[in-house]
Amino acid sequence: MYLTEALKVEMRQATIGEFCPEHFRGMGYQRSIAVTPACKRADGIAALLTGPIPHIYQSDLIVGSIRPLFVSLTDTERQAARDAAVPFPERRFISNKDHYAPDYETVLSVGIGGLLSNIDASKKAHAGNEEALDLLNAMARTLRALQEMLRAYAQRAETLIGTAGYDSERLAAVAERCLAIVEAAPKSFAEGLQLLWMIHTCFLYEGRYAMALGRLDQLLYPLYRCDIDSGTITAPMATELLENVFVKICERRFYRNADDVVNICIGGVDADGKSSVNDLSYCILEAVRGVNLPGPNLSARIAPDTPDEFLDTCLKVIGTGLGYPALMNDTVNMAALRRYGYDEADVRNYSMVGCIENFMTGQQPPWSDGRFDTPRFLEYALLDGEGFDKSRKGLKPPPLSKLATMDAFMSELERQLAHGVREYVEDFNAKNVIRDPKNHTSPFLSCFCKLCIERGRDINMGGAKYPSVHGAALMGVGTISDALAAIEQVVFIDKVATLTDIADAMRQNFAGYEELRHRLLAAPKYGNDHPLPDKYAVWFTAFLADEFDKYRTYDGGGIYIAMAANVSNIDAGHRIGATPDGRLAGEPLSDAASPTYGRDKTGVTATLLSLAKPDYTRCACGTVVNQKFFPDIFEDGKRQKLLSLIRVYFAKGGQELQINATDTETLRDAMAHPERYASLVVRVSGFSALYVTLDREVQEDILRRTQQK
């Protein structure tokens, strides 16, 4: 714990210069004598990994830092770096750059030297295939650069021995570990963790910031168990090593005021489908608790036979205020993934990338996703094909007087949505497809995708076992469900207004229609275990899953649906006018899979019963359900009720749950006196953050969440 806090202090020290990884990559491009794009790109990556001078913190146990990428440059040097990179464009999130869980299992098993041997074997198998040989040579070049980087860190550690402020024994251990894994597979827990972290650091150097560490408790457990059995390590020692890494995950937050989207997955099941929770799972939970920072983004897979002790420990960590781990229902997630034909062994080994996205670990290209704002299609159906945002239009609907039944209105809404889905996918595929893929290869990343070396293909060009997938994040299930329930109640059941009345009120943002708005607000709302709005949440999930299932990515992968917002519900709300649920123009939409905040008024049990009704096995990407509880529910003797509630919620089909352990008054006081709450961490959506650093609108959105008891 001492080293953890000391490392935080060190990381708060100002950097010198500007963050410019392209400076080092550019030098590699300039010096390269390679003739093919893949090998030139590999030379750029090699220069990026070996050019910066390694930085070792005084409190380091595991080394690897982005701090060396801060350099002082002249305008001429800066422009030269940009010019050198022009012929080598980088992929973006929409074109499968990061949001990836690497195949760390193989490198832990055979080491870097083993990967290079596998490349040599593949080159023999692909003799005569110039394209494959070119990529394999590029991959080998980047792995040798990784080896050089490890040697450089070892040399740096040896150089610092005897320097004031540094512990010579720790430096000697760092040097020994780095040299041990240059060629061979790691033989200890510390060596394994060092290897993973150095590879992850290389990905950060490449600009791949949303790279997951995968199922860390499964990956490192054999090494951990061996060390425990031999007496060379204890659980507290392993926890301290983990803390050292987890603090550095937040480097971008400290140095660049940027998010760290590093997902770590624990728990779940093994190859036989049995609970895979182990002692290292608990060490990881203890480590994030000790670090007490917004990152990493920890996800806990909860299976039916997951021990209550593990779930209870997760709740203890959540109760500290961190807001994580996010709790994932293994039964639902695996059923959702099976729909896409993945092998059962791979389904059982799934992990999460980014915020909550389900991923075939080391078996498919990086993830991409986008936003599908469903409430605007209500506008199109009711407002003659137009909405608040005049830059977008829907189909021309029939006169509202022709929609004489709820079924007729639903048919029109489905027509509008189906058209919107088609437009969305066409737009995505136009942006996702790379026109010159040979100039966008990823030789280093491809080393950590299971079949790329064997196939001699890039991860985004057929090297992976499975094709790419895309997640369409559906905005506003609560808003839609409330709106449709209000229309059915007010127009077709009570018959106190018409669709035309509602459309007129929407155009006026309910000015002059206060009584109608009151009736719409009084209609049953999603999140209260009421059948009227809940049936529309069920319809929403099934209908949109069916529509997106009609389409594929450019290489034949699925278009998953998600119910996740990552605060985009706020921006989406800015673009959508008043809606039939009584929401005013510009107000946030409901968040992710959650009800509209403040409308779930009959208790948390009713809320979760509502949220468990849709068939989330249709949401292969994942969902986000945010709940806020008073902190005292996490005290000893009280957590059992919450634990039992979560078990029931998951047994009934709930897919995900994430919890803030805070009270409304604390959040209000933090908004008024941010200087008093610098370390207050909250769960935002699919990630956690320091509350006082969030935009005011996001703070208010969290504040609006119903306070559960």
Lowest mean pLDDT among 35-39, 248-252, 315-319, 676-680: 676-680
User: Coil, strand, or helix at residue 464?
Assistant: coil
Q: Are residues 350 and 378 in the same domain?
A: no
Shared domain check, 133 and 281: yes
Output the pLDDT for position 519: 98
Do 274 and 383 fall within a single domain?
Answer: no
Six-digit token string for 258 = 């940027």
Same domain for 286 and 225: yes
15 vs 474: CA distance, rounded Å: 40
690 falls within a domain: no
In this prediction, residue 341 has a pLDDT band, given cuts at 50, 70 and 90, of very high
CA atoms of 240 and 4, how far apart (whole Å): 8
Q: Are residues 335 and 376 in the same domain?
A: no
Q: What is the pLDDT of residues 645-696, one digit of tens each?
A: 999 999 999 999 999 888 888 888 888 988 888 778 787 776 777 888 888 8
- Average the pLDDT over 471-491 and give the result: 97
* Beta strand 351-353 pairing with 357-359: antiparallel
How many separate domains does the chain show? 2
The domain boundary, picked from 333, 359, 385, lies at 359
Q: Is residue 608 part of a domain?
A: no
User: Are 330 and 442 contained in the same domain?
Assistant: no
Q: Is the pLDDT of residue 417 over 70?
A: yes
The verdict on 352 and 373 lying in the same domain is no
User: Would you say residue 430 lies in a domain?
Assistant: yes
- Mean of pLDDT over the chain: 95
Percentage of the chain lying above the pLDDT 70 cut:
100
Beta strand pairing call for 656-661 and 681-683: unpaired
Report the phi/psi class of residue 99: left, alpha or beta, with left for phi > 0 and alpha for psi in -120 to 50. left
278 and 410 inside one domain: no
Residue 656 to residue 257: CA distance in whole angstroms: 28
Query: What mean pLDDT do residues 117-125 have?
Result: 99
Burial class (CB in 10 A: 0-12, 13-18, 19+), 69: buried
Q: Which domain holds residue 142?
A: 2-359
264 and 334 share one domain:
yes
Confidence (pLDDT) at 705: 84
- What pLDDT is recorded for position 1? 64
Q: Are strands 18-19 and 70-71 parallel, antiparallel or unpaired?
A: antiparallel
Residue 623: is its pLDDT beyond 90?
yes
Reported as a single tens digit per residue, the pLDDT across 540-558 is 999 999 999 999 999 999 9
Sort 283 into a burial class: Cβ within 10 Å, 0-12 / 13-18 / 19+: buried
In a domain, 701, yes or no: no
Residue burial 641-653, b: 16+ Cβ < 10 Å; e: rest: ebeebbeebbeeb
Residue 386 in any domain: the answer is: yes
Give the least confident one: 153-167, 232-246, 589-603: 589-603
Mean pLDDT score, 37-54: 97
421 and 344 in a common domain: no
Angle between helices 279-291 and 235-249 (to 10 degrees): 50
For residue 18, give the CATH number of its domain: 3.20.70.20
Q: Write down the pLDDT at residue 567.
A: 82
Q: Is 521 contained in some domain?
A: yes
Judgement on whether residues 499 and 551 belong to the same structural domain of the protein: yes
Indicate the residue among 587, 622, 648 that finishes a domain.
587
To the nearest 10 degrees (0 to 180), the angle between helices 37-50 and 130-160 is 10
Buried b (16+ CB within 10 A) or exposed e, 339-359: ebebeeebbbbbbbbbbbbbb
Determine the pLDDT at residue 258: 79
> Quick one: 291 and 386 in the same domain?
no
Query: What pLDDT, on the 0 to 100 scale, is given for residue 260?
Result: 79
| Cβ-based burial of 123 (10 A; exposed 0-12, middle 13-18, buried ≥19) | middle
pLDDT of residue 223: 99
What H or E segment, with its residue span, contains residue 477? Answer: helix 477-487
User: 142, 444 in Cβ contact below 8 A?
Assistant: yes
Contact 574, 586 (CB under 8 A): yes
Region for residue 592 given its phi and psi (left: phi exceeds 0; alpha: psi -120 to 50; beta: otherwise): left
Among 359, 390, 419, which residue terminates a domain?
359
Higher pLDDT, 86 or 492: 492
Collapsing DSSP states into helix, strand and coil, what is residue 597?
coil
242 found inside a domain: yes
